[in-house]
A and B are shown apart, each in its own frame.
Chain A
């Protein structure tokens, strides 16, 4: 393959004939490739959310008292909740492999903010009171509950909730105390002033911090089940039951059995509960894909423009090459090599920027792209909570190579067209 090597070397030198232009193209394509990588990293995290949602919800059934959200301190109070005693009947239903009772209270805090306090058994999934069907949250500091914690005044706090309490990942010390107004026993709405930790009530030890995936989720707090019952006086009542069914195909059978035995309950399955989230995340997935296509087209257009100028400027030279024996495929190799090298350098620059600055600008990029399409409560913290990795993984490198090939191929189209039609005589006359 001597001629190919020769042409590749020649292409590399040609790239630097007009260094200013090449540098300009790199300055323009580098950030485009960077945005491609950032979008891929963010899309991967979103895909993970969707996968998690789908796998978690396909075999999950949620039960609530008729026409309630299950909050123990809602209008109608505890009477509207389900009796805890039905758990034994639910456990006996065919195809049901796990039953998890769940308690939740809604708490106003300073200003118009609301928080949710949730009681779960140690070992059960720590589902958010909103979009809980997605499954457990991610513990990002401290430890999780153990069976020994059930009944103790310990809590797991969402990152945003913690932030309002002046607790961050940097200053968090496991076991730190926090005071929460004893809402029901005092007979008045609980108010926790943001930024203070000593407004009456019972002290809780914060044993861990979690991240959920969005802002409202991060304003929630988990308590051990018995602790919650004791704190809110909710013994004998359950806000929700989460039932895990052995296979997705059996969900309808179980649902029918529940409807038969407990007609007073609301039954929420994946089709009812998860469709909204799945649809929202699916929209973002489509946005991600459109972005990927757009970046390839944009970078391709930049390289195409540079190659267009190069081919026009060097038309006489290309004619000479034809005159001395270059075939059209020879010249195509030369021009595609130039285009690929230009795209490859842009991708290298984009990859380097990503490796060094991806972490820093990834958040802003997320807000400027996906964030625009997210409801307000998601916008600020979804990315934080998804814990996206901005490392240049082998998978991203492969995508970058594929994108480079596409951009290089696209960028060389005009020059190839020109060469295909090139008559050596006309080129030499030009």
Chain B
């Protein structure tokens, strides 16, 4: 039995207060094996991003237990969550979220410098990753000088620079054309084995390339399936 990258039990996330309070997510139980590619699918408002944010340590659940890469996130302090995000998770956003005043190389280096790497080591790692994503020649360009696909590849390089156990991507192809999106899907799925990857997406091509697809609806798991195989678990 493979080791889990995350496990969650009875996790509930609510937003708002009083009469406006809504339950955005309610997961009775969910886990994922390390090294795989998991896709969170579902319509807008189904809880995909909320689940990603909880797993990524960017937000806290109101109740329940959540273990990610050996850390019990429900009991970490704010500062410990920062350290967790820095070393254990790499984020890829739909809108790329690169720093506009930094070059591609500096954007990748930034995350490494936050993790305490020396400038030399950070630059070495960033250069190697930009080469891996095919952007060596664009290393000194700023985001505004790069295409959407190139920006997303820089964002993926940034997510990988601290060699995290888990890469989380929220609609990574949402702002890209179909051809560019396909290249990004290929890049993300190529991480399989090295890193665990969790992607929230509407893109069926991503679901097809995943090891496992969790369908969410109204904050609950509706279906848990392996593409090409039978559903593994009933919705809760």
Q: Do A and B come from one complex?
A: yes
Spell out A's residues near B (CB within 8 Å): 2-3, 5-6, 10, 13-14, 17, 316-317, 320-328, 330, 423-425, 428
Given B87, B93, B106, B109, which contacts A320 in the complex, CB threshold below 8 Å?
B93
User: Bound state CA distance, A2 and B117, in angstroms?
Assistant: 8
Other 4 A-B pairs with CB < 8 A, given A325-B114, A326-B82: A322-B82, A323-B97, A324-B111, A424-B58
B97 touches A317 (CB 8 A): yes
Query: Which residues of B lie under 8 Å from residue A17 when comparing CB positions?
Result: 100-101
Q: Which chain A residue lies CB-closest to B78?
A: A328
A425 touches B113 (CB 8 A): no
Spell out B's residues near A (CB within 8 Å): 53, 56, 58-59, 79, 82, 85-87, 90-91, 93, 97, 99-102, 106, 109-111, 113-119, 122, 158-159, 162
A324 touches B110 (CB 8 A): yes
Given A3, A10, A316, A325, which contacts B97 in the complex, CB threshold below 8 Å?
A316
Query: Which residues of B lie under 8 Å from residue A323 when comparing CB positions?
Result: 56, 58, 85, 91, 97
State whether A10 and B114 are in contact (beta carbons under 8 Å apart), knowing that A323-B85, A425-B58 are contacts in the complex.
no
User: Bound state CA distance, A14 and B106, in angstroms?
Assistant: 14
A10 touches B162 (CB 8 A): no
Distance (whole angstroms) from the CB of A228 to the closest CB of chain B: 76
Query: Which residues of B lie under 8 Å from residue A2 when comparing CB positions?
Result: 113, 117-119, 122
State whether A325 and B115 are in contact (beta carbons under 8 Å apart), knowing that A423-B59, A425-B53, A428-B93 are contacts in the complex.
yes
User: Bound state CA distance, A291 and B86, in angstroms?
Assistant: 47
Query: Which residues of B lie under 8 Å from residue A325 when comparing CB positions?
Result: 82, 85-87, 111, 114-115, 162
Given B85, B97, B99, B109, which contacts A428 in the complex, CB threshold below 8 Å?
B97
Given B59, B97, B114, which contacts A326 in the complex, CB threshold below 8 Å?
B114
A324 touches B122 (CB 8 A): no
A327 touches B79 (CB 8 A): yes
Given A6, A14, A330, which contacts B101 in the complex, CB threshold below 8 Å?
A14
Q: Which chain A residue lies CB-closest to B87?
A: A325
Q: Which chain B residue lies CB-closest to A320?
A: B97
A324 touches B91 (CB 8 A): yes
User: Bound state CA distance, A10 and B107, in angstroms?
Assistant: 11
**A-B contacts, 24 listed (Cβ < 8 Å):** A2-B118, A2-B119, A3-B113, A3-B116, A6-B110, A6-B119, A10-B101, A13-B102, A17-B101, A317-B97, A321-B99, A322-B85, A323-B56, A324-B91, A324-B111, A324-B114, A325-B82, A325-B87, A325-B111, A326-B82, A327-B82, A328-B82, A423-B58, A424-B58
User: Bound state CA distance, A273 and B93, in angstroms?
Assistant: 78
Q: Which chain A residue lies CB-closest to B59?
A: A425
User: Bound state CA distance, A327 and B97, in angstroms?
Assistant: 17
Query: Which residues of B lie under 8 Å from residue A317 when comparing CB positions?
Result: 97, 99-100
Q: Which chain B residue lies CB-closest to A14?
A: B101
Q: Which chain A residue lies CB-closest to B53?
A: A425
Query: Which residues of A lie under 8 Å from residue B159 when comparing CB positions?
Result: 324
User: Bound state CA distance, A13 and B101, in angstroms?
Assistant: 6
